[in-house]
Amino acid sequence: FADIPLEVVGTEEHLALTQKASERSLVLLKNNGVLPLQPGVKVAVIGPNADNQDVLLGNYNGLPVNPVTVLKGIKNYTGNAAVPYAPGSALIDDIYGHWQILDESVLFHRDESGELSPGVKVEYYAVAREAVTDFSSLRVPAKQTGSAIASEILNKLQMRNLRSPVSGKWLDDFAMVASGQLVPEESGSYRFDGPGEVILNGEVVTGAVELKANESYDFKVSHRVVSNPVSNTAGGLRADWQLRWVNESQALQEQALEKAANADVVVMAVGISPRIEGEEMPVKLEGFNYGDRTSIALPAEQQALIKAVEKLGKPVVLVNFSGSAMALNWEQQNVDAIIQAFYPGEATGTALARILWGEVNPSGRLPVTFYKNLDGFAPLDDYAMANRTYRYFEGDVLYPFGYGLGYSAMQYSNLQAPESLTSGEDLTLQVELSNLGEQAASQVTQVYVSMPDAPVDTPKLSLKGFTRTEIGAGEAQTVSLTLSADELVYINEQGQKVPYTGALDVYMGDGQPGFGKPEKVAHTRIELQ
């Protein structure tokens, strides 16, 4: 990365690439005909992840240049800045997806005449490197030295520039202190989120605090930005800093139902986020154990929200954000369409809107199995592969590995392969792919094999290759794929790779055999000698 100039970050070419990556990663899991949406349809956007930037990115990422949430993407695509929106619930417990950055609508400072003006005054200080020793805290107060080196008025408490305002250097240490008046627009119990120490009327805020509408509170927040790369990830002490808050007193579900009741279609953005699933995280919640998941169900408050919205009788398009599998059993039975988003990048909202309205034909495929529940699963500290993953699991699944739908029906036929092959040779396959739909598609063809004659236990199926084909509406193409000899081996009891001999079952098509319509997957048997 040292040879890449900062000027190329966020270029049009790169932003187009991140949008393409997002479009190709979204997986359509269910569609009863509600998608694609028709022009002019009145959409309400509901859910804790609808306007949540956290779910655009995973745990390891750079700074987004132009983050587009679900809500923002739908607003931009439809040209309607007044798309009805409500979060509907927390993500889970007191973890929210609709945090709002404190900005000039509620932050004020006194100008030279003593009058309150929008924005908050921020002063920047030099810091002593040894001043911070505990990088595990998410709230590290600034330990500034001397007088302020620089100051400015910020319209919102968000910092995305990695260049220190003190030294002018990239990723250098500095402290910032913001001060002024905080004037809430509505009364309620407010919770702040972000690194630094928040002080209201001289009192350090450590949890939720009751605030009154239109009342002025002395406000101060101090924060230390540290250039140490370990601290940049361990404690959130990065210069992409922001201070957010949320009013916990709002009737979230009631507001959501009111918005949804007047819509033709409801797009619900639900799931979890990288703030609660990840590696060694300070999170202890129902279904989560320090970032590890102990349940694959949606949080209870979100399940209640989905069921309440579904009762309105409106078509529901559910968009689930998670970095791991979710048991969407009730949702599969009751909502009209489901899209698995994972954490698809800063262009998420743009990509999703283009898929919802049919400008892009969905082509993503699941890289993991979505199970119905965790019954019979051994703990993950048991490394045995028995009954794990699509290769060994014996039970019924909700959505199989490699699964994904599109807007065009596909057919695979006339699989061409040699009747026999000498062990150690490459295997070339060809199959006829037909787009039976009225829309061009980007189709992912997958090849699975099984080795029934192996002298040791082998996987039921193994994915050995895949390729993407751009195919027009009503068009047929021949898809070719070659498996190298290294793919046609099994592992013996000594852990060694051994060339396979015997009958080889080959499946080439839209996914695993046994799921969906027979014309989705072509099959042949080859004798390896």
Three state DSSP letters for 22-73: HHHHCEEEEECCCCCCCCCCCEEEECCCCCCHHHHCCCCCCCCCCCCCHHHH
Question: In the chain, which segments carry CATH 3.40.50.1700?
Answer: 28-94+250-399
Confidence class of residue 55 from pLDDT cuts 50, 70 and 90? very high
> In whole angstroms, what is the distance from residue 221 CA to residue 194 CA?
10
503 and 529 in contact (C-beta within 8 Å)?
no
Strand order in the sheet with 427-435: 410-416, 427-435, 476-483
Residues 227-270: tens digit of each pLDDT = 544 444 433 344 567 899 999 999 999 999 999 999 999 999 99
Percentage of the chain beyond pLDDT 90 is 76
Q: Which residue has the tokens 């695509």?
A: 77
> What average pLDDT does the segment 425-432 reach?
98
* CATH class for the domain made up of 410-528: mainly beta
Cα 453 to Cα 428: distance, rounded to the nearest angstrom: 21
First to last CA, the chain: 48
Q: By CB neighbour count within 10 A (0-12 exposed, 13-18 middle, 19+ buried), where does 174 fall?
A: buried
Q: 158-207, pLDDT tens digit by residue? A: 876 556 777 777 667 788 899 999 999 999 999 999 878 999 999 999 99
| CA distance linking residue 520 with residue 512, whole number of Å | 9
Give yes or no for residue 451 having a pLDDT over 80. yes
Q: What's the confidence (pLDDT) of residue 123?
A: 93
Mean pLDDT of 35-43: 97
Average pLDDT over residues 376-386: 81
pLDDT for res 167: 77
Q: In terms of Cα–Cα distance, which of 114, 138, 49, 58 is closest to 85?
A: 49
Give dist(CA 16, CA 8) in Å, integer: 13
Helix, strand, coil shares of the chain as percentages rounded to 5? 15, 35, 50
Mean pLDDT of the chain: 91
Structure tokens that stand for 284 in this block: 């202890």
Given a cut of 90, is residue 392 above it in pLDDT?
A: yes
Concatenate the DSSP letters of all residues of 351-413 into one string: HHHHHHTTSS------SS-EES--TTPPPTT----TT-HHHH--S-EEE-TT--B-SS-EEEE
pLDDT tens for each residue of 197-211: 999 999 999 999 999
User: For the chain, what percent of residues have pLDDT higher than 70?
Assistant: 92
Domain 28-94+250-399 class, CATH top level: alpha beta
| Measured distance CA(70)–CA(319) in Å, rounded | 9
Other C-beta atoms closer than 10 Å to the C-beta of 19 total 21
User: Quick one: pLDDT at residue 228?
Assistant: 45
Strands 27-31 and 337-340, how do they pair?
antiparallel
- CATH for 101-247, options being 3.20.20.120, 2.60.120.380, 1.20.1290.10, 1.10.287.110: 2.60.120.380
Q: What is the pLDDT of residue 229?
A: 41
* Separation CA 328–CA 315 (nearest Å): 17
For residues 274 and 55, what is the distance between their CA atoms, to the nearest angstrom? Answer: 7
Q: Does 312 score more than 50 pLDDT?
A: yes
What pLDDT was estimated at residue 9? 82
Whether 514 has a pLDDT exceeding 90, the answer reads: no
As beta bridge partners, residue 338 has 30, 318
**Does residue 361 surpass a pLDDT of 70?**
yes
> 377: pLDDT confidence band, cut at 50, 70 and 90?
confident
> Per-residue pLDDT averaged across 210-238, rounded?
70
Convert the pLDDT of each residue in 69-108 to its tens digit. Answer: 999 999 999 999 899 999 999 999 999 999 999 999 999 9
> What is the pLDDT at residue 136?
43
User: Mean pLDDT throughout 497-520?
Assistant: 93
Nearest partner of 520 among 528, 529, 508, judged by Cα: 508
Tokens 């209870």 appear where?
300
List b or e across 398-407, with b for residues whose CB sees 16 or more CB atoms inside 10 angstroms.
Answer: bbbbbbbbbb
